[in-house]
Amino acid sequence: MVDVHCHLNFHSFEDDYDEVAKHAFESGVRVIVNTGTSIPSSRRAVELAQKYDSPAGEMYAIVGVHPHHADKADVEFEGELQSNWFDNLKKLAREPKVIGIGEIGLDYHTYKSNGIVDKDMQFGAFKKQIGLSIELGLPLQIHNRQAGEDIIQVLKKYRTQLQDPPGMFHCFAGSFEVLKDALSLGFYIGFDGNITYKGLAPGETVGLWELAKLTPADRILVETDSPYLTPIPLRGQRNEPKNVIIISEYLASLKAIELGTFKSIINKNVKKVFPKISF
């Protein structure tokens, strides 16, 4: 199994990422992919990927600036303000263990801490990073929060230049229409532990279980988004990559596919979307 989107690169795993990774590897997770949301967290994802490099347990990195950080992409590093986030990202993206560009996209959710980031800045960062993925031949890992229609419009413009397949929507949510468009553009669809939650998430109109039922198994990817979105029955604890197994079990039964068969379909999907992953 592969957790194609998590954040052992975040502070919440600073003290015990090694233990957490080992638990995942012992539970049958072969590969962990850490995704960046800023330049520092992307850099950390690359560092971790370089540390783990054995058939028993591998890590890879996806690097990018999240739409929620689009207005603060330039950050201080080693005491100096770096005003060239895009150059720094480009450097990171060329590292051998970087398998994609993400998490990038648009986010229209109003966060308590700082509302919605200026939409022009979000579009600017999104398009620039799509350009980078095209230049380097890397697939996309898309973050969408309540912005599905606009994301689809942007992706349609780049359709002919993207990779084949173009990448994945991570932690999918949205309308049937957005799902249909994402699939027809060739994207794979990532589901997380929140699929085990009852009811609708704030701002959403369609249940994740309905979306998962409509997504063909050969287009599904499974991810944890650790430390967030812990699946039931562990909800309330910090999420960990080993829980990708619980999410897979839930999805397999939802799709009425035997677990072993489901896992082998998902592994095939991982290799299709991220050809640089070897396991």
Residue numbers of the site for Zn ion (CB under 5 A)?
103, 143, 225
Least separation in angstroms between CB 260 and Zn ion: 28
Least separation in angstroms between CB 198 and Zn ion: 22
Nearer to Zn ion, 44 or 143 (CB): 143
Nearer to Zn ion, 143 or 219 (CB): 143
Least separation in angstroms between CB 85 and Zn ion: 19
Question: What's the Cα-to-Cα distance from 47 to each of 9, 13, 21, rounded to whole Å?
Answer: 9, 14, 14
Least separation in angstroms between CB 64 and Zn ion: 10
- In whole angstroms, give the CA distance from residue 223 to residue 80: 35
Nearer to Zn ion, 229 or 266 (CB): 229
Least separation in angstroms between CB 8 and Zn ion: 11
Nearer to Zn ion, 229 or 252 (CB): 229
Q: Is 171 left (phi over 0), alpha (psi -120 to 50) or beta?
A: left
- The answer for residues whose C-beta is within 8 angstroms of residue 183's C-beta and 6 or more apart is 189, 215, 216, 219
Nearer to Zn ion, 103 or 181 (CB): 103
Q: Which of 70, 45, 228 is nearest to 147 (CA)?
A: 70
Contact between residue 130 and residue 140 where contact means Cβ atoms under 8 Å apart? yes
Going by the DSSP 8-state scheme, the letter that residue 104 receives in this structure is E
Q: What share of the chain is helix, strand, coil (3-state, %, to 5)?
A: 45, 20, 35
Q: Which two tokens stand for residue 245?
A: 């197994």
Nearer to Zn ion, 69 or 242 (CB): 69
Contact between residue 238 and residue 11 where contact means Cβ atoms under 8 Å apart? no
Least separation in angstroms between CB 186 and Zn ion: 20
Least separation in angstroms between CB 192 and Zn ion: 9
Nearer to Zn ion, 5 or 263 (CB): 5
Nearer to Zn ion, 72 or 255 (CB): 72
Among all residues, whose Cβ is closest to Zn ion? Answer: 143
Least separation in angstroms between CB 230 and Zn ion: 13
Helix (H, G, I), strand (E, B) or coil at 223: coil
Q: Is 27 left (phi over 0), alpha (psi -120 to 50) or beta?
A: alpha
Q: Is 275 exposed, middle or buried (0-12, 13-18, 19+ CB in 10 A)?
A: middle
